[in-house]
Amino acid sequence: MQYQGAAHGRGNRNSFSLGYYLLFPATFIYLELLFKISTVSHVFSLGTLYTVLFSAAYGGLCYLLTSISKNRRVNRIISLVLIAVVTVIFLVEYFVYREFKIFYDVSTVVGGAGDAAGGFADQIFGLIFSFNGISKIVLSFVPFVAFLLFGRRFAPAKAAKTDVRVLTVFGVFVIYVFNLVFLSSSSIYGPMYSSQYNFMDAVSNFGLITGIRLDIKNLSGGSEAGGFETVTTAPVTTTTAGEGETSTTTAAPKVYGDNVQDIDFAALAANTSNKTLAGLDEYVSTLTPSKKNEYTGLFKGKNLIMISAEAFCAEVIDEKLTPTLYRLATKGINFTDYYQPASAGTTGGEYENLIGMLPMQGGKSFKNSANHNLYYTMGNQLNRLGYYGKAYHNNTYTYYDRDKTHINLGYSDGYMGYGNGMEEYVTKQWPESDLEMIQGTLPTYIDKAPFNIYYMSVSGHGTYSQNGNAMSKKNWDKVADLNYSDPVKGYLASNLELEAAMSYLVQTLEEKGIADDTVICISADHFPYSLDDDAALGNMPYLSELYGYEVTNYLERDHNRLILWCGSLEKEEPIVVDSPTFSLDIVPTLSNLFGTEFDSRLLPGRDVLSDAPALIFNTGYDWKTDLGTYISSKGTFIPKDSTVTVPDGYVDSIKAIVRNKINFCKQALETDYYAHVFG
């Protein structure tokens, strides 16, 4: 077998070119490494080796595809198109990450393209035409331009010979299988690739192309969620909130009954031919329900106002700067160790807060639930009790398909955003005012008690500068003298609009004499990802400045504060919950407090005031309990402190429980499970 000479354009050129053979492996490796450096940063890791080996295998396949024709020009055109398409894919994900600080899976990118173009066009164009954006575009297109200019010198004149193709197939097979065996032998990376797969970790550790391949495999049903694991539960402690403090005791019998409904899961499983639904029935039937408690029905019959606060975080709460938010956070139920997993941008945070599940189909999760039975949203639960209900948003009402998803949340009077009514109350600017939204809408329902209201705010949205954020500019004087950088000042200033909105809300409730009969629940949708341009772990200077510590893992990044307040609570000692809690706990906790009929086994979160053991987790399989924290990417469990005794088998037991809960979130969304249970 001979390599081609330097001459070109002759009909007798050999079919094998070493330069052409190496073109695609080199291109894939170059793009993956550039992408990794530009996003997650950690290049010097075992994951980079997996990425390089996968890239080499994909490159071999592309060589076969682009050397199949006997016509040299056809091969060259196929090569150029393929390189261009792959390059654009990398650039799209790069700019998605720069804007939203998370990798978006295939369905989210495809389904959200129109949303991004309409709602974030200015920010995205700003990213593209910035120095970093232009430089990344130029660097990414280096392989394409190089092949365009010099490709004729080494491109084969005709299809590769059979022996070359066989050798290539063999090489691809060996590299691919070796890499699979290599990573499967790792206790950290093996689960990431299979049983604990999620798109973010797959891209971070195995490369963007592998992440997309696995995502498409899942979308096509090639990797359906498996069965649920049998868990041998290690001895654990339970934490139950009390007035003024929490107490940690060994599990003991309670006088209260279980929070369950009369559901025959065995009969449900027997009457369906769908194996996934039957598996869900069997899994749920094995779970131990949480018990009712002294707080069951504490808010029965009261009004509810739920708020998903855009990019809110615990550090916004300050006794002097945000006195109303401070009052709500400290005079109600205090959650001192709360987390808001950032898994799919704003729509993912709303999905967690309202539905009580992790969004296992990324940014499409909420959209895909638009026609599902969302039995346990507070909208549906309180609607069944005769409440007046309505959902509001002070930005474009169709964004993220909220015109479809939010009319399915159970609010009796539907959903209003900017474009179907909100424009009557809110000035068009970026971002819009939370205060104007509350001022305009509160009079429309305040006399309709009992009422059940949901707000998705927008004032806290980035970017955070006086030029790019109307709320930052409006409130700048109040933060100008703070000892922070300008981006952090801009962030705090934007959130002062939420403070103003809550001040108006509480004052009006008190003037109407219904503050004692109204519950306010505020949770973020995600951490303030617009603070930093990069936002890779270990490279978030402004977020770390705001938090007061270096952010090194996702749980540190996603720590937050849940506000759960009612005027009547101010007459009592604060109820403090210092065990780990997170957004999936909102629905079961509110359900218990409002005394609704719910089955605690059907929600992956917990009523934090019950005897259920504390457990929070994210889509990356990190988790935290009363005993400590597990960081999946490192395979490391960190005990809470030196006094903690971790029982044998405890970590493996909790890992299995977390896998089951995440699997439940995935399969419940895929199958519309509540429709199976409740009809």
Please tell me the predicted confidence (pLDDT) of residue 19.
64
Please tell me the predicted confidence (pLDDT) of residue 245.
39
Distance between CA atoms of residues 49 and 45, nearest Å: 7
In terms of Cα–Cα distance, which of 553, 557, 554, 555 is closest to 542?
557
The answer to whether residue 51 scores a pLDDT higher than 80 is: yes
The answer to whether residue 254 scores a pLDDT higher than 80 is: no
153 or 55: which carries more pLDDT confidence?
A: 55
Angle between helices 650-671 and 275-285 (to 10 degrees): 140
pLDDT classification of 507: cutoffs 50, 70, 90: very high
Q: What is the mean pLDDT of the chain?
A: 90
Please tell me the predicted confidence (pLDDT) of residue 428.
96
Taking only the tens place, the pLDDT of each residue in 380-429 is 999 999 999 999 999 999 999 999 999 999 999 999 999 999 999 999 99
Q: How far is CA 308 from CA 97, 347, 351, 367, 506, in A?
A: 22, 10, 10, 17, 17
162 or 135: which carries more pLDDT confidence?
A: 135
Taking only the tens place, the pLDDT of each residue in 273-323 is 999 999 999 999 999 999 999 999 999 999 999 999 999 999 999 999 999
Tokens of 61: 């396949």
In terms of Cα–Cα distance, which of 249, 462, 442, 439 is closest to 346?
462
Q: Give the contacts of 561 (CB within 8 A, at least 6 positions apart).
A: 312, 313, 314, 317, 329, 335, 338
Please tell me the predicted confidence (pLDDT) of residue 222.
45
Taking only the tens place, the pLDDT of each residue in 229-242 is 988 765 455 555 54
Taking only the tens place, the pLDDT of each residue in 336-392 is 999 999 988 899 999 999 999 999 998 899 999 999 999 999 999 999 999 999 999
Please tell me the predicted confidence (pLDDT) of residue 249.
45
Please tell me the predicted confidence (pLDDT) of residue 503.
98
Taking only the tens place, the pLDDT of each residue in 55-108 is 999 999 988 888 887 787 888 888 899 999 999 999 999 988 888 888 888 878
Q: Give long-range contacts, CB 8 A cutoff, 24+ apart: 179-184.
A: 179/50, 179/53, 179/54, 179/57, 182/50, 182/53, 183/50
Taking only the tens place, the pLDDT of each residue in 432-464 is 999 999 999 999 999 999 999 999 999 999 999
Q: How far is CA 630 from CA 89, 170, 237, 240, 430, in A?
A: 33, 40, 17, 22, 39
In terms of Cα–Cα distance, which of 621, 623, 612 is closest to 663?
621
87 or 152: which carries more pLDDT confidence?
A: 87
Please tell me the predicted confidence (pLDDT) of residue 109.
81
CB 469 within 8 A of CB 512: no
The answer to whether residue 15 scores a pLDDT higher than 90 is: no
Q: In 131-260, at which residue ranges do the beta strands (DSSP E only) sit?
A: 237-243, 246-250
pLDDT classification of 7: cutoffs 50, 70, 90: very low
CB 464 within 8 A of CB 316: no
Please tell me the predicted confidence (pLDDT) of residue 119.
56
Please tell me the predicted confidence (pLDDT) of residue 538.
82
Please tell me the predicted confidence (pLDDT) of residue 40.
86
pLDDT classification of 156: cutoffs 50, 70, 90: low
* Range from 101-105, 197-201, 472-476, 660-664 carrying the lowest mean pLDDT: 101-105
580 or 17: which carries more pLDDT confidence?
A: 580
Please tell me the predicted confidence (pLDDT) of residue 63.
85
Residue type, position 309, single letter: A
| 638 SS3 class | strand
pLDDT classification of 248: cutoffs 50, 70, 90: very low
pTM: 0.90
Taking only the tens place, the pLDDT of each residue in 512-561 is 999 999 999 999 999 999 999 876 788 899 999 999 999 999 999 999 99
The answer to whether residue 190 scores a pLDDT higher than 90 is: yes
* Range from 219-228, 272-281, 528-537, 589-598 carrying the lowest mean pLDDT: 219-228
CA 421 to chain centre: 29
Instruction: Find the mean pLDDT for residues 212-223.
Output: 74
Q: How many CB atoms lie within 10 A of CB 420?
A: 13
Please tell me the predicted confidence (pLDDT) of residue 158.
59
CB 232 within 8 A of CB 651: no
Please tell me the predicted confidence (pLDDT) of residue 1.
39
Angle between helices 106-119 and 208-219 (to 10 degrees): 110
The answer to whether residue 592 scores a pLDDT higher than 50 is: yes
